[in-house]
Amino acid sequence: MSAPHSPVDPQQSFPKLEEQVLARWKEERIFERTVERRAGARRWVFYEGPPTANGRPGVHHVLARVFKDIFPRYRTMTGHQVERKGGWDTHGLPVELAVEAELGFDKKEDIEEYGIARFNAKCRESVFRYLEDWSRLTERIGYWVDLDDAYRTLDDSYIESVWWALKTIFDKGLLYESYKVVPHCPRDQVTLSSHELGQPGAYRDVIDPSVYVRLPVRAAAGPLRDGDELLIWTTTPWTLPTNAAVAVDPELTYVRARGGDKPHESGSETAVVVLAEALVERVLGEGAEILDRFPGRELEGIGYQPPFDFIPGSAYGERGHTVLLGDFVTADDGTGIVHTAIAFGEDDFRLGEEYGLTVVNPVKPNGTYDERIGDYAGRFVKEADRDLVDDLRGRGRLLRAEDYEHAYPHCWRCGTPLLYYAKPSWYIRTSEIRDRLLASNESVTWYPPHVKHGRFGNWLEGNVDWALSRERYWGTPLPIWRCVHGHVHAIGSFADLEARSGQKLDDAHRPFVDEVTFPCEQCGETARRVPEVIDVWFDSGSMPFAQWHAPHEHEERFRARFPADYVCEALDQTRGWFYSLLAISTLLFDQSSFKNVVCLGLILDADGQKMSKSRGNVVVPDEVLDRFGADALRWYFFTSKQPWDGYRFSLETISEMVRQFLLQLWNTYGFYVMYANANGVAPPPAPDPAALESDLDRWVLSRLSATVETVRERMDDYDATTAGRAIQAFVDDLSNWYVRRSRRRFWDGDADAFATLRHCLVSVAQMLAPFTPFLVDEIYRNLDPDGEASVHLCDFPVAAPRDEELEFAMGVAREAVTLGLAARGQSKIKLRQPLRAAVVVATGRERAAIERLADVVRDELNVKELRFAAAADELGRVEVKPNYRALGPRFGKSMPLVAAAVAALDPAGVARALREGRTVGIVVDGADHELGPDDLITAMQPLEGYQLEREGSHAVALELTLDEELLREGKAREIVHAIQAARKSAGLDISDRIALALGGEATLLDAARAHESYIARETLATTVSYDGADAEPVAIDGASLNIAVARV
């Protein structure tokens, strides 16, 4: 007769097993069948945040992809249809930078010389360079997603949908061009949006020159006299050549002052400087002389000599190089007089507009000065800082210069320090819909919850207009055409463009789209496309509709799958993809495009350091997968902590999880298969708890139901961590309590035990299917060979009715066992040595529970009887001592008197008072003192001949006296243990019958004879002889026993 199940290899390599499972999934189309099986069911919608495949995937991509996988798998098993359309983010500066590096380019102009068409062709090639690596890793980790029909942001159909979105926003009056100060990367010559400054690495600590610059007034005016100097402060000396004006607060009090004990440049010690009164001591030091006080408004219009003469004041207009009033000026830092370079600061620019100043910008887009800045022309502005400071020093224009460490924004793509730079850009007026964005956010459930009104909500509260345009090449072209008279046309479809131009667009990218022109419908002049492309975050944020080419086609598909039930990415996407998704859907549809979002934290190394190649601490996913397997890595990410808390990646922790959980599950499964095969037990049906005789069977089924309840409730709330830990706790109960307590029943072929354990294992496999999809599919198929082709085609388990009273009773019994085993450990008496009795403190419901399960408790503790006590005090005597650490500082030299007073107390009464929350009184030196639980140390000393273990009001005492009968039985148990080891060494199967021969010392042989039937039953011995003197000897408690076993 063939075995009911395939044998289980106890040394199974999980990575090799996973490769076999992958091959079967592919051959049998398991993923596709899980989706097809749910056709017509209620949809549960998942949106894939598109990665860029122009670099190899890292371990952080594994984290994101397994969390994108687990909940769609779960929802599929709960009866939903879950389509999983993959996606690729293919545009943007990171792609361009990689191609530039390959071509040896170091500036934007190199691309123009090379040719935009050739350059973009290279970009198109590069974005899928590592597609095979991504696809292989995606499959290897068990992330089920449809990559055969993935959306790609470079496809013309996708771009056309994005154009529709932009035209819709334009038609609402929310897309506009404006001249503003924006974060500008001089290396890439591109504008950054405000949410890009929230990307990791955007702000870095740098040391810049901090300079206090003296600006002599041109003539006495208002409260100022000839020779007075306005004092300004800046950490960007490179902007001083373009100083247009200075700003003061009209209500702030300013002073004329001199001296002070802070360091001064030579020649400035006696200078009379003007600054905010509140900053005098901080800037000038103690002892500074205040000559006059006046409000800032009295300084308005006063002229001064600029720090450099490269650009005359007249170039800025009438108010050039004069004092202006600004509402942004404070006395929080600096001097209270703000240097204003209107081309390089938002507040500066706004103030310039208010006063009608002309914007003068002598800095080129590549960050170098133009010819107007004399000898500095052609130099990168940040590199000129030190020389500019020396120039000021040489002309006696410095009060002081020092280094200043602060966080400064950098390009998150290339690492170049950003310049705040006035330039024309296209914007989306998101600030105008701030209230709608906040309302959309209210409909979203965030994990963790604090992000909703914290990181993300605060971001929306401070929302500024979206800087949309980029002066680059490889991206979705901005669909705006303009004629020489400034008439603007937004194009929302290729058909519209063809109708206007008579030209069919074969490639929507630059430079081909740039060549398409048409007559302006307002004036007849030729309308040409503006040169910019758009922010790639607008690309990815358009995926809900653009992946379907909606609204140009498949509008019904989009509507049926909008909004998403679930999205998931790293926490930094609050200012990336999560924001663009919500902003675009609110702009277009006045609602969020997702309902639930799980944020993922950073992965650091085991020491909490950021992973980098230079540190040598980067984790290569393939190495982890080859060593431990995908299930182990998935389980680590799901259960080691909540995902948004971040990870300190540890291979040791993964190894421990394999040992503590995956191997425990595998060995429990292997135990079942081994005994089922040995007994010829075919897969039995699920048991009916009401028909089971064993409390243990009914208990484990009730525990299973409780676990199913918890797992469903937690998974419904996107809490894989708690759900996974609940399953692990159940598997531990199953292995270390149910199976261990039931071994004899499996040995005897108990049908209820087999049915119960198999049902539990199948249910665990089904619950774990979203977590560890490989291992449990192997377990399920072997345990249910006539069932579904895969566990992933099963429904998720549903909780059956529970027996909560039995769960309580087993919990009480296990607690008693835990205390009893701890007492065993303290007594140094082996567990195989029977004891006469255990005395358990229990009353009422708890006593009834232990009495119900008395056989279990007796067997676990290996005692002959159980007795009960009403209180722990009955099991020993209480000792009370003073806590010298607490009382010593209080009583000092009187501590001997305190000790004597405590020794005179009734220990039992003290213990009772402290348990009830009361204090204890003593008299020392004629004075009353109250002592509390921190002042006294209480300990329970067991009665003579007993070992006690206590926890709170619970306690178990073991009677330790051993008579000859108990000693013989203990030896018999040791003999059984030794024989089982001999069977294993002989390579015997668990079902093999043996002939047993024993020899050795008389005390052991006497014990064997006294318990011969027990030894024979336990070791499957058909005969027992005592002529084994020549057999292999073993030592038992210092005595020698010879054991010979032979298969019969």
CA angle 767, 771, 776 (to 5 degrees): 65
Q: Please give the helix or strand (H or E) that residue 589 lies within, else none.
A: helix 577-589
DSSP lists the bridge partners of residue 480 as 490
577 counts as catalytic? yes
Active site residue 610: yes
* Residue 50 falls in the annotated catalytic set: yes
Host H or E run for residue 639:
helix 630-639
Write down the catalytic residue from 426, 537, 548, 737: 537
Tokens of 327: 């509402």
The active-site residue, picked from 15, 50, 237, 797, is 50
Of these residues, 148, 449, 613, 828, which one is catalytic? 613
Residue 613 assigned ligand-binding role? yes
Question: What is the spatial distance between Cα 100 and Cα 95, in angstroms, rounded to a whole number?
Answer: 9
- Whole-number Å distance between alpha carbons of 936 and 939: 10
Dihedral sign from CA coordinates of 490, 495, 501, 507: positive
Q: Could you tell me which residues come within 8 angstroms of residue 622 by beta carbon, excluding any fewer than 6 positions away? A: 137
CB-CB neighbours of 798 under 10 Å:
11
Backbone angles phi, psi at 291, to 5 degrees: -95, -30
Q: What does the block give as tokens for 648?
A: 């300190």
Helical residues (DSSP H) of 318-431, grouped into ranges: 346-355, 385-394
Hey, how many other C-beta atoms are within 10 angstroms of the C-beta on 855? 13
**For residue 968, which phi and psi values (nearest 5 degrees)?**
-60, -45
The DSSP 8-state label assigned to residue 662 in this structure reads I
Dump the DSSP string for 742-771. Answer: HHHHHHTT-HHHHHHHHHHHHHHHHHHTTT
Residues 6+ apart with CB under 8 A from 691: none
Give which of 211, 213, 207 is closest to 231, Cα–Cα.
Answer: 213
* Residue 22 host element (H or E): helix 14-28
Is 613 among the residues known to form the active site? yes
- Annotated catalytic residue 164: no
Burial 134-149 (b: 16+ CB within 10 A, else e): bbebbbbbbbbbebee
Residue tagged active-site, from 25, 72, 89, 249:
89
Maximum alpha-carbon separation in the chain? 125
What region does 374 belong to: left with phi over 0, alpha with psi -120 to 50, or beta?
left
Task: State the amino acid at position 235 in one-letter form.
Answer: T
Tell me the DSSP string of 248-317.
E-TTSEEEEEE--SS---TT-TT--EEEEGGGHHHHH-TTPEEEEEEEGGGGTT-BB--S--SS-GGGG-
DSSP secondary structure letters along 513-524: GGG--EE-TTT-
Q: Is 573 a catalytic residue?
A: yes
Task: Give 260's contacts (C-beta < 8 A, 6+ positions apart).
Answer: 280, 281, 283, 284, 285, 286, 287, 288
Contact 507, 156 (CB under 8 A): yes
68 is catalytic: no
- Tell me phi and psi for residue 978, to 5 degrees: -70, -40
Q: How far is CA 857 from CA 125, 135, 773, 974, in A?
A: 70, 54, 37, 21
Helix axes 577-589, 156-171, angle to 10 degrees: 60
Contact 840, 850 (CB under 8 A): yes
From the candidates 81, 189, 547, 573, which is the catalytic residue? 573
Among 582, 602, 601, 600, residue whose Cα is nearest residue 592: 582
| Contact predicate 388/370, CB 8 Å | no
The phi-psi region of residue 1020 (left if phi > 0; otherwise alpha if psi is between -120 and 50; otherwise beta) is left
254 DSSP β-pair partners: 276, 294
List active site positions: 50, 89, 537, 573, 577, 610, 613
Annotated binding site for ATP: 613
Q: Which residues are annotated as a binding site?
A: 613
